[in-house]
A and B are shown apart, each in its own frame.
Chain A
Amino acid sequence: MTVMFNVRSVVWALVIVSLMLLPLYSSVSGNIFILTLFTRIVIFALAAVSLNLIMGYGGMMSFGHAAYLGIGGYAVGILAYEGIGSGFIQWPVALLASALFALVIGALSLRTRGVYFIMITLAFAQMAYYIASGMARYGGDDGLTIYKRSDFGGLINLSDRTQFYYVCLACLFGGIYLVWRIVNSRFGLVVQGVRSNEQRMEAIGFHANRYRLVCFVISGMMCGLAGALLATNTDFVSPSIMYWTRSGDLMVMVILGGIGSLFGPVIGTILFLVLEESLSQVTEFSGIIIGPLLLLIVLFARGGIDGWLGRLRRG
C-alpha cells in the first residue's frame, strides 16, 4: 500500500489524461490531424469496449460486431438523407435499431455455442453487409455521403472538431463506466458465472440465456452508438464498415489490449490504429511485421497488453 504502486494504474491514468488534453495539444502545436486520428481511435475504442463486454465478461465470441457499426451509421446516414436532421431523432433511432438487431440475432445465435456462435454471428453480419450493398437508394456498394451532421439545436455542434472529439470521449468514458457498473452488479456476476459454468448457474435457477441476451443487446447498442459516431466522423457510411474483416479488427483490438480487462480494449485500439497509420509510412509490407507479432502476442503474452502491464510491478 505505502510505496507499492502498479505500473498499470499509472499507464491508465496517463492514457486518460492524455486523451482529455489532446485537443489542447492539437491546438497549441497546430497539428490538426492528430485530433482527426484520435477521434477515430476513440470511436473504435468504444466499439472495442462494447465487444469486450460480451467477449471478455460474457464469453460470447461475436465475429459480427461490425454489423452494429453499420446499423448505427446507416441509421444516422439514412435519416439525414431523408431530410430528418435532428440528432434527437437520429441518435435514439440508431440506438434502437442496433438494440433491435441485437435482440433478434442474439435470440437466435444464443442457441449455439463455441465456434458455431462465432460463425452464426458472422453470418448475420454478412447478411447485414449484403443488405446494405443492395440498398440502391442509399448508394449500394458505393456508400452514402452525409452532407449535414446531426443537429442538436445549439446544444452541441458536432461540426466543431473539438466539441465532437469530446462528445466521442464522453461516450467512451460513459461506455467504460457502464461496463464497470454491469460487471460489478449482481447481473454482471451472473453473466460471468454463466461463462465459467453454465450448468451450475442453470442449476441454481438462473436462466443463463436470458442474462446473456440482455448483455448482448447492451453491447450491440454501445457499438451502434460507436457506428453513429463513426459515420458522423467520416461524413460517410458504406457497407465496407460492416465487412467481416472489420469485425476481425475489432476482435484483434480487444485481444491485443487484454480481453476481460476494463481499459484493455482502449489501449489495444490505440496501438492497433496508430500502428496501422504509421507503419504504412514506414513500409508497404507491414503485414510481415504485424502478422508474426500477433502470433507472438497470442503465444507469449496472454491477457494482452493489460495483462502484461499487470505483471509489471515496481516497488
Chain B
Amino acid sequence: MLLVVEQLLNGLQFGLLLFLLAAGLTLVFGIMDFVNLAHGSLYMMGAYFAATFAAWTGSFIIGIVLALGATLLLGMVLEYVALRHLYGRDHLDQVLGTFGLILFFNDAVRLIWGPAGLSLPLPAWLTVPIQIVPGVFYPSYRLAIIAVSLVVAALLYLVVMRTRVGMLIRAGASNREMIGALGINIRLLFTLVFGLGAALAGLAGLMQAPILTVQIGMGENILILAFVIIVIGGIGSIRGAFLAAIFVGMIDTLGRAYAPDLLRHLLSPTAASTAAPALSSMLIYLLMAIVLVVRPEGLFPASKR
C-alpha cells in the first residue's frame, strides 16, 4: 500500500515536469501555429546554463535564476533571428527547419562543453529524504519539483486567464488573424510568448538536471513525450496539457512499476522481463492513439474552425 503511494508521487512528479515542457510547446504551437522541435534543445540549454552558472557562482539558486534569464533570452533571440521566418509556413517546413536546429545545438554544445556532460549538484538541504507518512521516505528534491511545478502551473493559469497579455494569448490561440487585425503588436507578442515558452522549457531542463544528468540530446526523448501530451490535451490548451501531462506521467511510472508483475502471470519470466519495459513505454502511445481516434483534436481543442 505504501509502495502505491510512493509510486503515485513518482508519477505525479514526472507528470508535472513534463507539464512544464509541454506548456511552452503548446503555447507556441497554439498561438503561432508553429511546430518547434527545437523546444527540446531549449530544455537542454536550460540545464547546461544552470550547471555552468551554478559552478561559476557557487550557488544553486543564483545559478538557476541566471539560467532562466539566459534561456528566456536565447529563446527570444532564436525567434527573432530564425524562427519568425517560418511562421505561416507549412508545418513540414517548420519540422525540418527546427530539426536542423536540434542537430546544430547538439553539436554546438559538444563543441563548447565537451561530450562528457555536466553535473548540477544539489545544495545539502535538498538531498535529505523526507518522511511523508510513517514508513515512507521521499526525496526532498522531488517534493520540491512537485511544489515548484504546481506554483508555476498556477501562475501560468493566472497569467493566461486574468491578465491582458493572457487575454491576447487566448485570443491568438483561437483566432490568429483577428488579434492582428485589432492592431496588437503581434510580432512582439510572438517573441514574448516564444521567450516564455523557452524559459518554461529551460526550467524543466534545469529542474530535471540534478536527478538525471546534463547531457547532449537529453531533450529529444522527452520532447516526444511533450508532443504526445499536447496532442492528447488538445493543441493550445494549457488545461489540456496539464491533465494530459499528469496522465502520461502516471501511466509511464505505474506501467513500469506494475507491468512486469502483471506480465509474469502471463508469460515466462525471461519473456516477461524483456516485454515489460517495452510494454510500459508503449502504453503512452497507445493512450495517444486511442484519444485521437475518439477525439481527433485532442481532449480540449483550443480552436474550432
Q: Show the binding face of A for B, using Cβ within 8 Å.
A: 55, 61, 63, 108-109, 111-116, 118-120, 122-124, 126-127, 130-131, 133-137, 140, 244-245, 248, 251-252, 255, 259, 285-288, 290-295, 297-299, 302
Q: Does B108 contact A (CB under 8 A)?
A: yes
Choose among B107, B220, B282 the residue that contacts A126 (Cβ–Cβ < 8 A). B282
Do the beta carbons of B275 and A134 come within 8 Å of each other?
yes
Chain B residues, Cβ within 8 Å of A251: 92, 95-96
Cβ < 8 Å to A, chain B residues 278-305: 278-279, 281-282, 285-286, 288-289, 292-293, 296-298
Do the beta carbons of B298 and A116 come within 8 Å of each other?
yes
Q: Does B271 contact A (CB under 8 A)?
A: yes
Majority SS at the chain B contact face: helix
Beyond A127-B285, A130-B281, A298-B100, whether A115 also contacts B298 by CB under 8 A is no
Contact with A along B97-109 (1 / 0, CB 8 A): 1011111111110
Q: What are 11 A-B pairs with beta-carbon distances under 8 A? A: A111-B296, A120-B231, A123-B286, A123-B288, A123-B289, A124-B289, A134-B274, A134-B276, A248-B95, A251-B92, A298-B100
Do the beta carbons of B274 and A294 come within 8 Å of each other?
no
Cβ-closest chain A residue relative to B41: A291
Do the beta carbons of A288 and B108 come within 8 Å of each other?
yes
Known: A140-B278, A298-B96, A298-B100. 7 other contacts (CB 8 A): A119-B292, A120-B231, A120-B288, A136-B275, A285-B107, A294-B99, A298-B89
Do the beta carbons of B85 and A299 come within 8 Å of each other?
yes
* A271 to B: closest C-beta gap in Å: 14
CA distance A118 to B231 in the complex (A): 10
* A43 to B: closest C-beta gap in Å: 22
CA distance A286 to B111 in the complex (A): 11
Chain A residues, Cβ within 8 Å of B86: 298-299
Cβ-closest chain B residue relative to A112: B296
Beyond A127-B282, A136-B274, whether A294 also contacts B111 by CB under 8 A is no
* A68 to B: closest C-beta gap in Å: 17
Contact with A along B261-277 (1 / 0, CB 8 A): 00000000011001111
Choose among A63, A109, A244, A291 the residue that contacts B102 (Cβ–Cβ < 8 A). A291
Choose among B108, B228, B285 the residue that contacts A130 (Cβ–Cβ < 8 A). B285
Chain A residues, Cβ within 8 Å of B62: none
Chain B residues, Cβ within 8 Å of A130: 278-279, 281-282, 285
Do the beta carbons of B111 and A113 come within 8 Å of each other?
no
Chain A residues, Cβ within 8 Å of B285: 123-124, 126-127, 130
Chain A residues, Cβ within 8 Å of B298: 116
Do the beta carbons of A295 and B279 come within 8 Å of each other?
no
Cβ-closest chain B residue relative to A302: B93
* A66 to B: closest C-beta gap in Å: 14
Chain A residues, Cβ within 8 Å of B107: 285-288, 291
Choose among A115, A118, A122, A288 the residue that contacts B104 (Cβ–Cβ < 8 A). A288
Do the beta carbons of B275 and A115 come within 8 Å of each other?
no
Cβ-closest chain A residue relative to B289: A123
* A216 to B: closest C-beta gap in Å: 16
Q: Does B235 contact A (CB under 8 A)?
A: yes
Cβ-closest chain B residue relative to A107: B293
CA distance A286 to B100 in the complex (A): 11
Beyond A114-B91, A127-B282, A252-B96, whether A294 also contacts B103 by CB under 8 A is yes
Chain B CB within 10 A, most for which of A120, A133, A134: A134
CA distance A302 to B92 in the complex (A): 12
Chain A residues, Cβ within 8 Å of B103: 286-287, 290-291, 294
Chain B residues, Cβ within 8 Å of A298: 86, 89, 93-94, 96-97, 100
CA distance A291 to B274 in the complex (A): 36
Chain B CB within 10 A, most for which of A61, A127, A248: A127
Q: Does B242 contact A (CB under 8 A)?
A: no
Beyond A285-B107, A287-B104, A294-B100, whether A115 also contacts B288 by CB under 8 A is no
Cβ < 8 Å to A, chain B residues 60-119: 82, 85-86, 89, 91-97, 99-108, 110-111
Cβ-closest chain B residue relative to A288: B107
Choose among B89, B101, B292 the residue that contacts A116 (Cβ–Cβ < 8 A). B292
Do the beta carbons of B289 and A295 come within 8 Å of each other?
no
Do the beta carbons of A123 and B104 come within 8 Å of each other?
no
CA distance A140 to B277 in the complex (A): 11
Q: Does B227 contact A (CB under 8 A)?
A: yes
Chain A residues, Cβ within 8 Å of B92: 55, 61, 251, 255, 259
Q: Does B224 contact A (CB under 8 A)?
A: yes
Q: Does B35 contact A (CB under 8 A)?
A: yes
Chain A residues, Cβ within 8 Å of B94: 298
